[in-house]
A = this chain, B = another copy of it.
């Protein structure tokens, strides 16, 4: 029986999400995002964010991020993001392609978070009217970060303040938005627009849906071009209600928060297990649903041989010092991770 910590996108869909798809499968509904269910779910987003927002459903996180960048882009545009951000490392050039050639400029910072001073210096490398280097167009932060850490609300506000001082909008890649939200014990409004976030990639796929992501534009007046940007990228679904139905189930009775709390709790227990063995040690303190640990290659191999799934992680951007045959490894939990998984893993380590 495998124990799977490979990725939160290796898990399937939560039963409530499947049920919603079955429930909505019958009957006719207006296509291309204009159905009653689409409209209803858009209202749910407004409720959740405590303001009028413009919401655009897509089905991959890469689409949400890339279309967000496309919305904010300007000719010769340059966006700023952490050097190890998903957009820079794992989206196969989609942000560059779907913006029509924008550049992503990597910014350093400890533990997956951009250093505010480094961000400020980076933006200053691109003077507003200097055509040779390109014009800054946006900053993007990831919450929770690629390596399972968090920006505090104050840190978000601080980044936003730097953006404002340079006239730049702030985007948040929220592929693991819910995990960050419950970890900080705050609200969607507090973690976004009240701290200066202008556009959000709201991810639900990793947290229990099949494929449900949304671009949330906090000021609907600035979303005017998005329907065309989405359509020209072929990301407008004819039977759009299948995304809406996932979101409806996701939000119903707080499923999304429960799923995220569960995943974070599993990660916390996994981290505790790691702390109590000397075969691995934590690379840094996990804050959401990802645990990064350092172990020797033979240990990793032994675990793999016993059907534990997890990924090696490129330490090139991580502040860890590896010795000899040590490697850095990522363990991800999700709604589908069980207490038994962690328990079995713990026992395995204790043997």
Q: Interface residues, chain A, CB within 8 Å of chain B?
A: 2, 4, 6-7, 9-15, 17-19, 21-22, 24-32, 58-63, 66-67, 70, 74-78, 89-94, 96-104, 125, 129, 131-135, 205-206, 210-211, 225, 227-239, 241-242, 309, 314, 316, 336
Q: Quick check: B234 and A66 within 8 Å, CB to CB?
A: yes
What residues of B have a CB within 8 angstroms of the CB of A239 in the complex?
9, 12-13, 205, 210-211
Give the number of copies in the complex: 4
Q: Quick check: B13 and A31 within 8 Å, CB to CB?
A: no
17 contacts between A and B (CB under 8 A): A6-B28, A9-B239, A12-B27, A12-B239, A12-B241, A12-B242, A28-B336, A60-B238, A63-B235, A74-B225, A75-B229, A76-B228, A94-B232, A99-B101, A101-B232, A132-B231, A205-B239
What residues of B have a CB within 8 angstroms of the CB of A4 in the complex?
28
Q: Quick check: B131 and A236 within 8 Å, CB to CB?
A: yes
Given A63-B234, A131-B236, A228-B75, A211 contacting B12 (CB threshold 8 A): no
What residues of B have a CB within 8 angstroms of the CB of A10 in the complex?
28-31
What residues of B have a CB within 8 angstroms of the CB of A236 in the complex?
60, 62, 92, 131
Q: Quick check: A228 and B25 within 8 Å, CB to CB?
A: no
Among residues of B, the one whose C-beta sits closest to the C-beta of A31 is B9
What residues of B have a CB within 8 angstroms of the CB of A231 in the complex?
62, 76, 91-94, 131-132
Q: Quick check: A93 and B97 within 8 Å, CB to CB?
A: no
Among residues of B, the one whose C-beta sits closest to the C-beta of A98 is B234
Top 4 A-B pairs, shortest CB-CB distance: A76-B228, A92-B231, A100-B100, A97-B101
Closest Cβ–Cβ distance, residue A107 to chain B (whole Å): 13
Cα A234 to Cα B98 in complex, Å, equals: 8
Given A96-B101, A96-B102, A211-B242, A132 contacting B91 (CB threshold 8 A): yes
Among residues of B, the one whose C-beta sits closest to the C-beta of A309 is B28
Q: Quick check: B98 and A9 within 8 Å, CB to CB?
A: no
What residues of B have a CB within 8 angstroms of the CB of A227 in the complex?
129, 131
Q: From the candidates B32, B100, B233, name the one contacting A234 in the complex (CB within 8 A).
A: B233
Q: A14-B25, A93-B103, A129-B227 are in contact. List 10 more A-B contacts (CB 8 A).
A: A12-B28, A21-B22, A22-B22, A62-B236, A75-B232, A76-B232, A97-B233, A210-B239, A210-B242, A211-B238
